[in-house]
Amino acid sequence: MASWLFVLAAYLIGSVSFAVVVSKLFALPDPHSYGSGNPGATNVLRTGNKAAAALTLFGDGAKGWLAVFLAAQFGPAAGVAPWTLAAVALAVFIGHLFPVFHRFQGGKGVATAAGIMLGLDLWLAAATFGAWLLVAAAFRISSVAALSAAILAPVFAFYFMGNDPRAWIFLPIAALLVWRHKGNIEKLLQGRETSIGR
């Protein structure tokens, strides 16, 4: 029972869309209503408010880290099952993609996935961020960097964590990240995807 309570709490934490919350605080339009319609930091940046975009990025990443941290810190004392930490990590990610508080219309999950990695393994987070940085520097296209990092994340996860439930959850996370970027993939194939800084 305790395991499922942690999983439910993680989903609810993930369901807090910081793009929506921050936009309300800054009196900005609902991020679903302009640009890509994606409630994420990149879309919030389209308003020109860099502070709001930065807070959105931080919040979406922090909630991924927080859910994992709480489960790791308090789960053992509550007698949770061995699979709980992995399930919590996946639940907070699913919460971000399909938030119950925002009509199940969530973001793409890049920042939240990064926060999950930070909570699970610093080396995994560093390797994945390094891959993102290298691809971003080479191609200057954010979606290409995000997709590359998503595909490499499970490889890094198994390398650093071995055959562990925490590593296995990066297979569905990577698949969901790619699926959420399907619009970007279409633009890339058509040569219409914008570069970083434009």
**Could you give the 3-state DSSP secondary structure of residue 93?**
helix
The tokens describing 107, both together, are 């973001």
Q: What is the pLDDT of residue 65?
A: 98
Q: Where are the domains of the chain?
A: 2-190
H helix runs in 49-192, sequence order: 50-78, 84-97, 110-120, 122-139, 142-161, 165-168, 170-180, 182-190
How high is the pLDDT of residue 184?
Answer: 87
pTM of the entire predicted model: 0.94
pLDDT band at 141 (very low <50, low <70, confident <90, very high): confident
